[in-house]
Every structure is written in C-alpha cells, then in structure tokens.
Structure 1
Amino acid sequence: MYDFAYEKPSSLADAAKLLSADGDAKALAGGQTFIPVLKQRLNRPSTVVDLSRLGLSGITVAGDKITIGAMTRHADVANNADIKAKIPGLAHLASMIGDEAVRHRGTIGGSLANNDPAACYPSAVLALGGTIKTDKRAIAADDFFQGMFTTALEPGEIITAVELPIPEKSAYEKFRNPASRYAIVGVFVAKFPAGVRLAITGASQGGVFRHTEMEKALSATFSPDAIAGIKTPADDLNGDIHASAEYRAHLIGVVSKRAVAQVA
C-alpha cells in the first residue's frame, strides 16, 4: 500500500468535512473492495476516513417501508427476521454475497457507493424502487445508478441509509462465478400492486439496469411463461473470460425465469 493518513471520526458532520476538504480522501465502510484495491495499488488516497463510528447500522420497519442503515453488514441483512418475512428476496440475496467472512464485514452502503457492475445489492435496490439517503439528500434508485462504478453521489457525499418499499413478492437469483461469487448474471424481481420491477446485474457494460420488456410482460401475467419468449440483445452486454456477451444474454432469460418461478 501507499502511505496515507487515517481518520476515524465519531460524527457524520466530521466525516463529511474530512471528505469534502480533500478531493483525494476516500471513505472506508466494510473495506471488502477498497482494501484489496489499496493492496494492489490501484488507488492512492491521501486520507482514509473510517465510517465505523458513525452509528449508521440497523434495520427498522415503518409502515410499508424498511430502512437499512448504510453500515449494516450483509450477514445482518441476511438474518434479519423482518427482512426475511417482508422482503425474502433481499435476505436471500445477502446470504449469497461472497463468503462468510465477507458477509460479516461488507456493508450495504459500501456496495451501493461502489456500484460494482457485478454486485448484488444494486439489483435489489433498483428493482424495489428504493431511495438512497445521504447526509445531503434522498436519491431515487432510478437516478442513483449511472453506469459502471458510477453513481449520483457528489464528492464527499456519504450514504447514511437505504429505504425500501415492501413488495407483495420478491426473489433474487444469480448465476455466479464459482470463485468470486460475484454475479455473472443476477436478477431481482419485485411485484407491487402497481406492477412488476425487474433489475439485472452482472451482465451489462453500463452496470445494473431494469429490463422494461420483461417488466411489462410480468405486470400483465406474473409467470415464467410470460417472459419465455423475450430475447435480450447481446450488443451492450459484457463479454470476458467467464462468459461471452451472447451467453450472458441467454442467461438473462434463464435466470429471470428462475427468479419469477420462486414466487409465481
């Protein structure tokens, strides 16, 4: 690693001040992506601002929404009784992130801020129509994810929580890389009274996205058969040593039907 200063503020205001004052400062949440990046010398921050003392963890239910603090660990999301009962697809998703060590260190806020194109959480937050709350504002999921490793966050802005509407039904399925457990293709589907939202991670060059053609078909008939004939173009999909763009296009159909079958 390169040399850097280390700060561990005890208030959100102090953390925001440290990050805003220095364009080369970086926030540290769970560190499951950031620390490997530092070890590989792919990032050279002047200061690392540790967010672990800010009290941003916890899960609460209020009316038809669940709010999850940004520093809540994956394992806590996976094991929370309210999430299991009300958004079981999210609990299932969290239980499949990385391995046990990663799930006990990684955080939902860190995952959303990083917006890795193969991460699981972005598909859930987008499919659920969630709201990302920061120290400055609230950002709708449809506006938050803006491309591979790119979000609507401004420099120095800190995610504090994510608010998720409770759907009638939800499910997550992924075809995962057996080594990293990242999604080669992951699909989150959420059924609401007003219709269905379905988001896909791991496949697109632009990161997580909603599959509007499938959403329309499933809103009319919530069944795997409703999307059986829908083909996804391979033009803008990732192709790498793990899967070609054409294979990912095929997997989108397969994994989406599996997700719908879970709850149909």
Structure 2
Amino acid sequence: MSVRYLSCGDTAFTVEFGNEISPEINGRVMALHAAISLAREGGEIAGVVETVPTMRSLMVTYDPLATSRANLQPKVDALIARGLPADAVSRQVTVPCCYDDPEFAPDLAEVAERAKKTPEQVIEAHLASPFKVYVLGFMPGLAYVAGLDQSLFLPRRSQPRVRVPRSSVAIAMDMTTIYPFESPGGWHLIGRTPLWMFDKRREQPVFLSPGDSLTFERIDRENFDRIAGEVEAGTFDWSSLVKSK
C-alpha cells in the first residue's frame, strides 16, 4: 500500500492514502485511526494526542515534549504493514426522515424535475443509497455522508439559503448531510429528521461518527412530531438507532 506523509506544523503530520474519495481509501483511513487508538491503549505508541480522520487521510497530532515525528512515523508504518482492512467493524445507524411535508422538503420537486424522476422516485433512491459517514466538518455534528444514488447527483444550489432549519436532510454532488444547527447552506433540502445531530446534554454530543454506515427510514409527520417531542424532552432512546455491523 502506497502512503504519503505530509508535515502539519511541528506537532502533527498527515498520513495520506490516495488522491480520490472512495470507500476503500476511507476504510483504510478509519482502520489506521482504530489501530493507533489500540496501540495507544496497549502502550505500543506514546505521545499521540489525537488522530483526526478525513476522507482520504489521517492527521496524527502529538506532544512534542513526549515524542517526535521521527519516532512516530516508523511505528505508524509498522501498523500499516500489518494490514489495514477496508471493511472494519463499524456502526450501522438508522435515521428517521420525513419527506412528505413541503415545509421539510422545499427542493424535492425541483430535484425530481432535474433528475427526471417523480418526487416518490427521488425518495426511493435516497432511501436505497448505501451511505457511509466519511468525515465531520464545517460545524459541530455535521457529517459528510457519501454514497448517494448516482441518479441524484446535482451541484449545490446556485443561490444558497441564508437559513436552513436544524435537522434538514439535504443532498449535493454524491453526498447527503443533516444540518445540526440552523445555518446558511447551499444543498438541496429533501426532508427532515426529528433527531438532533448535536446535543450537549448527551454524554457524546455528536451523534454520527466517521466510519458509520447510515440508512434513512421514512416516517410520516405524526411519527416525526412524536420523536421530535422525545428528543426535545431528552427521553428518546438513541441506542435503538445503532447496531454494530
């Protein structure tokens, strides 16, 4: 496996696995992320502060008083040499989504027209897409989720919205995402989930993680309102949405 090491200042370096975005490359990124974590726990690697996965690389940050890149890079090389499976164990996450309310899906009709589909076919294609969380970024809890059905590929909107409601489900290019907060945004809004992608009341405030496999489950407005009420009250059972793969 060919990798490239790039400096990121004097306390970090990046391990780059390729120049393209693919499940295989991202799988190796996540596998190295997990391998370094296990090596730290087992005492094989000292001085690592954290590892940050991206779509095609892993940034390793370290304490310069405890170690150095010259010390860490051979150890990372050794972990890679052991083999990094691209299909490591991950979480299977189900996200309920309401597509049927025009308030939640203001772009659904336009997406259908541009994709030469009916709105129902757009929903079906979104539900059937084999999604995977590649990286978190832009704002806390916002996941870039690849795997969108190719028939739905569209560029971002030419005129971004000033306000996108929290928990909106949107698509652009080959990805989908869920807005964790009300914010500006230029993706196409096709639904909304009653879940909060970021909730500081939870032990782990961010719901999705890089490496998660994700599927959407269609719900009606009545179930949306019921789940939204439980999320708001802090009584929703989040564990019901997550399984080990």
Name the structure with the higher helix share: 1
State if a TM-score over 0.5 links the two structures: no
Which has the larger Rg?
Answer: 2
- TM-score calculated relative to the size of structure 2: 0.25
